[in-house]
Amino acid sequence: MDLHLDLRLDLPPGSSHGRRAGLERALRDAVRGGRLAPGSRLPSSRRLAAETGLSRGTVKAAYDQLTAEGYLTARQGSGTVVAARPQEASPAVPGRPAGDRPPRHDLRPGSPDVTSFPASAWLRATRRALAAVPSASYDYGDPRGSAELRSALAGYLGRTRGVVAEPDRIVVVSGYVQGLALLTGVLGGQRGGPVVGMEDPGLPFHREVVRRAGGRVVPVPVDGHGAGADLPRMDAVVVTPAHQYPTGVTLHPARRHALTAWAQQSGGLVVEDDYDGEFRYDRQPVGALQGTAPDHVVYLGTASKTLGPALRLGWMVLPPHLVQPIAEAKLHTDYHTGAVGQLALADLIADHGYDRHVRAARLRYRRRRDLLVERLAGAPGRPGSQVLGIAAGLHALVSLPEDGPDEAAVLRRAAAEGLAVGALGEHWHAQGAAGRPQGLIVGYGTPGEGAYPAALAALTRALRA
């Protein structure tokens, strides 16, 4: 059976014998260079002869020669394929040591349990969406995002998070990072190198996103009531009010009021990172800060923690004066976010499949956090270690006793156990400063259901004094 496979080859002109050698050399180079990967199927000798202008006998002789050399394999009934090659060392990935392997036990924060991705519900939503949308939906779209998703998000965010979110104020982005970068760039274009306050401790990667987008970062200290309200002069402040990352505290009501008052009086902007606002386990989630001052707060949310980061779907709910500048910045960045994923998410929300998945995930992650607290409370040899922060989210801060091993020593023991876990020390703006609290940031969302107990066992061994 001829599958009409396409194969582009640059053949030198010459006699039949010379062209056979040229064909062999072109095929050999394509295999060596990786352009033809192991297992790749080649066109039939009849089709390749017709496309190259060679005789079928010449092509067949070239195939036979390369089969003899071990580059190709002829399979009865399956045609000619590229043979498997000896394993070669993979090149090092930038930012990762050569030979780095996934940890045996992964308790790093920042990711959900992707093994619980609702594949069947997502597939059904995708099918329904694609069956209903007009063909124009596959063309270039609105940089703000599809009307279907913005409408679905407006209802969902208002219902579950108390966000004032008319569809016209929503811009769909490919995750929180793009939203933060777009916003920083727009503020820079309006004011020239914006000064952005960011929580201390906070995620270093987000600080770098702001810097690379042209912003200057200043620390905003975090205590037991959340981000401090005594703000210096700045253009914007980025906060995680529902569940501060990484300390796990929630922003005190007085601080919430002070933040919005600062924005109204100074003309500054509050950026609300609601990265895991759906996951509160001991009571109803705290409503979004944006709902109290929608003209002064930018709300940023994503599907990364609820469904999975690979979808690359996030949203910004903007004050009216920022909608057009952000949409233009989005247009000149990547034009628009992929339409099929937007349509599927819109259908999943409208069908309430998204609510069902979030409820199931909330129960699963609550059990995991409860088990973490139980294991640490009942484990001997770790006096002073405790889980800090509210019962929420996908991570917890585990304190280290002052008279016990320091953070570096615990991390070394964790590595010896094959355990990857976060460290509080990496999140301070000024790292290495004396007197700072130490602790581990345990991401209990990351492992699959079957892997979590073993990961917890490795954690308790690493914490053993």
Burial class for 275, CB neighbours closer than 10 Å (0-12, 13-18, 19+): buried
Dihedral, 210, 214, 218, 223 alpha carbons, nearest 10: -10
The per-residue pLDDT for 456 is: 95
Contact 454, 105 (CB under 8 A): yes
DSSP state of 53: T
Residue 302 forms part of a structural domain: yes
Separation between Cα atoms, residue 421 and residue 465, nearest integer Å: 18
DSSP state of 448: -
Residue 348 forms part of a structural domain: yes
User: What is the tens place of the pLDDT at every residue in 189-204?
Assistant: 777 789 999 999 999 9
pLDDT band of 378, cuts 50, 70, 90: low
Number of domains in the chain: 3
The per-residue pLDDT for 348 is: 98
Q: CA of 215: how far to CAs of 184, 194, 316, 348, 382, in Å?
A: 6, 5, 19, 36, 42
Computed over every residue of the chain, the mean pLDDT equals: 90
* pLDDT at residue 465 tops 70: no
Tell me the residue ranges of DSSP E strands in 212-346: 216-223, 226-227, 236-239, 269-273, 297-302, 314-317
End-to-end CA distance of the chain: 68
User: What is the tens place of the pLDDT at every residue in 422-459?
Assistant: 999 999 998 766 778 899 999 999 999 899 999 999 99
Residue 152 forms part of a structural domain: yes
* pLDDT at residue 92 tops 60: no
Q: CA of 420: how far to CAs of 410, 442, 465, in Å?
A: 11, 9, 19
The per-residue pLDDT for 96 is: 43
The per-residue pLDDT for 99 is: 46
Q: Say how far residue 323 (Cα) sits from the centre of its chain.
A: 24
Length of the chain: 465
CATH number assigned to the domain comprising residue 417: 3.90.1150.10
Note whether 162 and 249 are same-domain residues: yes
* pLDDT at residue 94 tops 70: no
Q: Say how far residue 21 (Cα) sits from the centre of its chain.
A: 49
* pLDDT at residue 90 tops 50: no
Sequence-distant (6+) residues with CB within 8 A of 283 are none
Which SS3 state, helix, strand or coil, does residue 451 take?
coil
Residue 429 forms part of a structural domain: yes
Out of 355, 386, 405, pick the residue that ends a domain.
Answer: 355
* pLDDT at residue 267 tops 90: yes
Residue in 162, 351, 394, 357 with CA at minimum distance from that of residue 256: 162
Residue 90 forms part of a structural domain: no
Residue 167 forms part of a structural domain: yes
Note whether 126 and 153 are same-domain residues: yes
Lowest average pLDDT, out of 249-253, 380-384, 414-418, goes to 380-384
Note whether 188 and 76 are same-domain residues: no
* pLDDT at residue 121 tops 90: yes
pTM reported for the whole predicted model: 0.84
Tell me the residue ranges of DSSP E strands in 152-280: 170-173, 195-200, 216-223, 226-227, 236-239, 269-273
The DSSP line for 307-368 is T-GGG--EEEE--HHHHHHHHHHHHHHHSS--HHHHHHHHHHHHTTHHHHHHHHHHHHHHHH
Q: Given strand 387-388, what is the order of strands in its sheet?
A: 105-107, 419-423, 439-443, 395-399, 387-388
The per-residue pLDDT for 19 is: 81
Residue 98 forms part of a structural domain: no
User: What is the tens place of the pLDDT at every residue in 149-159?
Assistant: 999 999 999 99
Note whether 214 and 139 are same-domain residues: yes
What's the rounded mean pLDDT across residues 270-290? 94
The DSSP line for 98-114 is TT----SEEE-SS---G
Note whether 328 and 388 are same-domain residues: no
Contact 386, 100 (CB under 8 A): no
Residue 3 forms part of a structural domain: no
What's the rounded mean pLDDT across residues 354-383? 87
Q: Structural domain of residue 377, as residue ranges?
A: 105-114+358-463
DSSP state of 41: B
Half-sphere exposure of 200 (CA within 13 A, CB side): 16
Separation between Cα atoms, residue 133 and residue 130, nearest integer Å: 6
What's the rounded mean pLDDT across residues 390-398? 96
At CA 90, angle to CA 86 and CA 92, rounded to 5?
165
CATH number assigned to the domain comprising residue 63: 1.10.10.10
Separation between Cα atoms, residue 61 and residue 16, nearest integer Å: 12
Note whether 331 and 381 are same-domain residues: no
Out of 355, 386, 410, pick the residue that ends a domain.
Answer: 355
> β-pairing, 387-388 with 314-317?
unpaired
φ/ψ region of 435 (left if φ > 0, alpha if ψ in -120 to 50, else beta) reads left
